[in-house]
Amino acid sequence: MLEEARKALEASIIYYRERPLGTMAALDPEVEALNYNQCFVRDFVASALAFLMQGKPEIVRNFLVETLALQSGERQMKCFKPGQGLMPASFKVASREGEEYLVADFGEQAIGRVTPIDSCLWWMVLLRAYVKATGDLALAHQVEFQRGIFLILDLCLVARLNMYPTMLVPDGSFMIDRRMGVYGYPLEIQALLYAALRAARELLLPGNEGDSYIQAVDDRLGHLIYHIHKYYWLDFKRLNEIYRYKGEEFGETVMNEFNIYPGSIPDWLLDWLPESGGYFAGNLGPGRLDFRFFALGNLLAICNSLASEQQSQAIMDLLEQRWQDLVGRTPMKICFPALEGRDWQLLTGSDPKNVPWSYHNGGNWPVLIWLLAAAAQKTGRVALANRALELIDTCLYRDRWPEYYDGKHGRFIGKEARRYQTWTIAGFIIAKELMTNPQHLTLINFDEDPSIIACLL
């Protein structure tokens, strides 16, 4: 099955001026392509990691160079132009009079017309992974690449009308690219921001302009990890504190700083959260704590050491004890639980694609197997990764590599899932590679930095 996955990944490669540049989102022969024949930045990260682990860095280098050129290119938009440091959501190869060129989409063609916040963050993480795999630090130190990093940091670190070190984003601006009540300060973006800042800290050249950015990154990293640990972490002890909160407090020494009302604790959580497990909440804002579990943000927090060693083990404990809910038959669930009833109507806009236990609303996404495998390797819980891989070792190939699965336990192929979804294929390859060669973890792993951890003391 691994060899079949590798062949399918090769078949998805997009060529630009006779050079491999990226991979198509999907190659489903039974469904109209729409934009699935384009290369999505977030999707390609999985493909890129698979290529790097297989010793094929050329396509990743080409991707980094060409998307960097798109970052600063002219954009033909009908609306207000977003910041210059953004990376496109996707791009495609077009031709005019026999000459090929790239056409990028920065969200102006997307459903809901939402700008992709995560693309530039993933790009930075991928650049660091490429350098780790090849030792080609000279690429990252090129003037153009340093300027590209500066532009991304300008977007992330700019002074704004905001008191928090977290990044404020709208609904639909990352992997959950439809309305799902994830606007505000979603965990996935904060975990990605932390990884991108850690990557920038390694890639920035000191001296002149670089020094000011290095200082700004160091400052934000400390504030960010303190904020996430103090306010996003949920375990049984923390839940008891929230349960006894008093509201309407004012001043510098209050306990309930965000004015979270105990009545907002959902009934499902009180009996569901085990005493030995824990996780980072999905979102936080004034009077609002999103108690849902979001897989990508929590697993990424383990890999990039946003989570402490103790928190990382608690997240893996939660996965093990609530396996059927969070992993099910096809690893693994993008979020838990699903929005149902009136919540589904109000928070998704009655989205027929995001009905309960489907797609982004509690669906199971096989691509997440690579993050589960990485987190399991880092925490020494490889048995959980092997258990998850056993579940999909035959079904993904049998089901023709679907985009997602439906149902409370991921038993059904997604009603609107594409087949031969490239990041499903790539995620499987990465997970297998990580289990066979744990040293590949260095591509995506960040060790704890004592200077950052000191901010928590």
Look at the block and give the residue holding tokens 């997602």: 404
List, for residues 361-388, the tens digit of each pLDDT value. Answer: 999 999 999 999 999 999 999 999 999 9
CA distances from 270 to 41, 223, 234, 275 (A): 38, 30, 12, 11
**Mean pLDDT lowest among 113-117, 160-164, 320-324:** 160-164
Q: Which of 194, 167, 199, 197 is nearest to 183 (CA)?
A: 167
List, for residues 19-45, the tens digit of each pLDDT value. Answer: 999 999 999 988 888 889 999 999 999
Domain with residues 2-456, CATH architecture: Alpha/alpha barrel (1.50)
CA distances from 344 to 268, 288, 341 (A): 16, 17, 5
pLDDT greater than 60 at residue 430: yes
pLDDT greater than 90 at residue 246: no
Q: How far apart are CA 129 and CA 127, in angstroms?
A: 5
Give the chain's mean pLDDT: 93
pLDDT greater than 70 at residue 71: yes
Q: What is the DSSP letter of 421?
A: B
pLDDT greater than 80 at residue 76: no
Look at the block and give the residue holding tokens 């993008």: 334
Handedness of CA 181, 187, 191, 196 (dihedral sign): positive
Q: Which pLDDT band, with edges at 50, 70 and 90, does 94 fall under?
A: very high
Q: How far apart are CA 253 and CA 241, in angstroms?
A: 15
Q: Which pLDDT band, with edges at 50, 70 and 90, does 74 fall under?
A: low
Q: What is the pLDDT of residue 207?
A: 87
List, for residues 295-310, the tens digit of each pLDDT value. Answer: 999 999 999 999 999 9
